[in-house]
Amino acid sequence: MKCVVCKGPAVIDIRRHNANFCADHFLEQCRRQVTKAIDEFSMIERDDRVLVAVSGGKDSLAVWDLLVALGYRADGLYIGLGIGDYSAVSATYARDFATARGLHLVEVDLPDAYGYDIPTGSRAARRAPCSACGLSKRHLFDKAALDGGYDVLVTGHNLDDEAAVLFGNTLHWHTEYLGRQLPVLPARDGFPRKVKPLVRLTERETAAYCVIRGIDYLVEECPMAAGNRHLSYKAALNDIEAASPGAKHAFYFGFLDRAASHFAAEAASDREELGACRSCGAPTTAEVCAFCRLVERAGGHVPSSEGPASVPVALGATRAPRAGMASVERVPAP
């Protein structure tokens, strides 16, 4: 197996590109694919301040490393979810990565700051763990990006993730989500711009990138992921990809090129005038946002930066809205 660029010994084959690469040219290939995604979808400007949501896993650490290598000013954001040992260990991977490279990591600990953890929130709100977790993370990502004055929030979603979400939304014809399943969600009042620079790389490739770059990442999966339908969609797509290399790429990028715009009107019609959450000021269609309702049900509290310190969420209290959020849109669940 020879590298398609230098003819030296290859370390990885990428069947959908019908190409093999040596270590150096594979890294170059990853940087090229990320650059192409950023340029194609106008994800990040050169002078943007970038916040990368990191979990300690391969994708988020790879995208942080890639953005820094490409010259972007990128800080990390780690959210402690209180998922037992998994959270304790994942935090060390994020911290060690940042420390070893002299990068800045913003940390928010859900149990410390809000008084609940994901297992408790999930039980109390009678939501699937990933639903309570996704809701919490989205709120905290938005808040950290806006509070920190960042221009853009980056997540490590890769081609496998996006194809699986698209597969699920298509299977169930969640057309209101299809119109918004894009690699860039523009900034709106109350929401930062959100981008996914890894959409042209698979998780096998981000794992290989980390190994070659010497990035130590948490291999263990989140223990609460068991039963998540997303995993069965990924497995089904992996079978299809094995029989038909390039199928995932064609499915996802074909959707972006030829189908997403057909659902844009429905996605737009779903955008309601949002007001400010009475408790935390975040944009919401209800009086109190879904995050604050989750916090309240889980017996937690909002910290002083969002509301009264260390007291239960006051569902009847009135707070000033976040600055400049007259008209905003709801961001769909991933």
| Residue 129 binding result from ligand Q46, Zn ion, none, given CB thresholds of 5 to 8 Å by partner type | ligand Q46
Among residues 331, 329, 304, 297, the alpha carbon closest in space to that of 319 is found at 304
Tell me: does residue 61 bind ligand Q46 (CB under 6 A). no
Among 3, 130, 210, 218, binds ligand Q46 (CB under 6 A): 130
Among 80, 82, 129, 183, binds ligand Q46 (CB under 6 A): 129
Tell me: does residue 275 bind ligand Q46 (CB under 6 A). no
Long-range Cβ contact pairs of 289-296 (< 8 A, separation 24 or more) = 289/139, 290/135, 291/135, 291/136, 291/138, 291/139, 293/125, 294/121, 294/124, 294/125, 294/127, 294/132, 294/135, 294/136, 295/114, 295/115, 295/116, 295/121
3-state secondary structure of 74: strand
What single letter denotes the amino acid at residue 246? G
Nearest CB to Zn ion, comparing residues 161 and 205: 205
Nearest CB to ligand Q46, comparing residues 156 and 283: 156
Among 106, 108, 118, 145, binds ligand Q46 (CB under 6 A): 118
Tell me: does residue 89 bind ligand Q46 (CB under 6 A). no
Tell me: does residue 224 bind ligand Q46 (CB under 6 A). yes
3-state secondary structure of 94: helix
Query: Based on the number of CB atoms within 10 Å of its own CB, is 292 exposed (0-12), middle (13-18) or buried (19 or more)?
Result: buried
**Can you tell me the distance from the alpha carbon of 290 to that of 139, in angstroms, rounded to the nearest whole number?**
9
- What's phi and psi for 77, nearest 5 deg? -130, 120
Tell me: does residue 105 bind ligand Q46 (CB under 6 A). no
| Closest CB 45 distance from Zn ion, rounded Å | 30
Q: Can you read off the two tokens belonging to residue 279? A: 């408790």
Q: Do the bridges between strand 311-312 and strand 184-185 make them parallel or antiparallel, or are there none, so unpaired?
A: unpaired
Among 6, 88, 89, 225, binds ligand Q46 (CB under 6 A): 225
| Closest CB 176 distance from ligand Q46, rounded Å | 21
Each residue 3-32 as x (binds ligand Q46 by CB under 6 A) or -, in order, gives ------------------------------
Tell me: does residue 134 bind ligand Q46 (CB under 6 A). yes
**Can you tell me the distance from the alpha carbon of 201 to that of 249, in angstroms, rounded to the nearest whole number?**
9
| Residue 277 binding result from Zn ion, ligand Q46, none, given CB thresholds of 5 to 8 Å by partner type | Zn ion
**Ramachandran quadrant class, 41 (left: phi over 0; alpha: psi -120 to 50; beta: rest):** alpha
Of 67-75, 189-197, 220-228, 280-288, the segment contacting ligand Q46 by CB under 6 A is 220-228
| Residue 94 binding result from ligand Q46, Zn ion, none, given CB thresholds of 5 to 8 Å by partner type | none
Nearest CB to ligand Q46, comparing residues 53 and 325: 53
Tell me: does residue 303 bind ligand Q46 (CB under 6 A). no
**Can you tell me the distance from the alpha carbon of 30 to that of 11, in angstroms, rounded to the nearest whole number?**
14
Query: Which residues contact ligand Q46 by CB under 6 A?
Result: 118, 129-130, 133-134, 222, 224-225
